[in-house]
Amino acid sequence: MSTWDLSTLLHGLHDELHQQLELARKSMGHPGSKGDASEAVWLELFQTYLPKRYQAEKAFVVDSLGNFSDQMDVVIFDRQYSPFIFTFKEQKIIPAESVYAVFEAKQTINASLVSYAQAKIESVRKLRCTSLPIPHAGGTYPAKPPIKILGGILTFESDWTPPMGTALETALIAKDGCLNMGCIAAHGYFNYDTVAKKYDYAIGGKPATAFLFKLISELQFSGTVPMIDVLAYSKWLTA
């Protein structure tokens, strides 16, 4: 009989992430270094545990009109059907059609950082997404509408007491539903219920692991990104 224990493995995944985020917060004196370390911890989690059809990187997002988003700490995008990803001096640029989700990663959460994350997420959502009809053996499927890009915030701690109470909800509903989900690794995670149009909060337990599972579930229901019109981008070769 196997001596593996699933509960121990899942608890250990959260504990490892928690320890890494705590170490970044307490041991690094420079704010920029702390931020870089936190981003790296979240990126490693997603790169390791998300299904391989998804990829996670720090990146800019671009559309076929030449518009760019702000730089996002975490962009989760399609790698199975994405025809191109630009890389220049380690800076990654991803076409808007390929994006499933974007996140801001911070040391802590407060009203200012929630507002900051909301604005950065909107810089991605306002980009234009092309979509072509999909050929198949029996004909052609209609062009698929662009998917709703998930947006969220990832932190270790909260500046509020309690960390996931009225203050957090007030900040979130200032732009209701703009942040679909978020994780405060030391305390819990939240998710926006699009049917009930309200936020649900999961407090305590092993938040990082629970959040990872919730994110994977949300990505599954997002389906597949639309078929990108590559030629819409090629016009910039003659610009």
What's the pLDDT tens digit per position in 89-104? 889 999 999 999 999 9
> Does the pLDDT value for residue 126 go beyond 90?
yes
pLDDT value at 33 more than 60: no
Within-domain flag for 194: yes
- Domain of residue 198, residue span: 7-227
Structure tokens at 194: 């699009």
Percent of the chain at pLDDT > 70 equals 94
List the beta strands (DSSP E) in the chain. Answer: 54-62, 72-78, 86-88, 91-95, 99-105, 108-109, 134-136, 139-141, 150-155, 157-158, 181-184, 188-193, 198-203
Q: Work out whether the CA dihedral 115, 60, 233, 139 comes out positive or negative.
A: negative
pLDDT digits 0-9 by tens, 158-194? 999 999 999 999 999 988 889 999 999 999 999 999 9
Annotated active-site residue 73? The verdict is yes
* pLDDT above 60 (res 29): no
- The arithmetic mean of pLDDT across residues 113-122, rounded, is 97
Domain-located, residue 2: no
Distances (CA, A) of 236 to 31, 44, 66, 68, 197: 38, 34, 8, 14, 40
Tell me if 237 is assigned to some domain: no
The pLDDT, as a whole number, for residue 27 is 66
Any domain includes 94: yes
**Of 34, 58, 106, 206, which is the active-site residue?**
106
What pTM does this model have? 0.91
**Token representation of residue 226:** 């639309």
135: confidence class by pLDDT, cuts 50, 70, 90? confident
What are 42-90's pLDDT values in tens digits?
A: 999 999 999 999 999 999 999 999 999 999 999 999 987 777 788 888 8
Residue 198 counted as domain residue: yes
Residue that has been written with the tokens 């009930």 in this structure: 196
Query: From the candidates 78, 104, 120, 214, which is the catalytic residue?
Result: 104
Provide the number of structural domains found in the chain.
1
Domain membership of residue 1 (yes or no) is no
The active-site residue, picked from 73, 78, 97, 157, is: 73
Q: Is residue 99 part of a domain?
A: yes
Q: Give yes or no: 106 in active site.
A: yes
pLDDT at 4 over 90: no
Residue type, 197: K
Would residue 129 count as lying in a domain?
yes
Q: Give CA torsion, residues 104, 109, 110, 115, to 10 deg.
A: 10
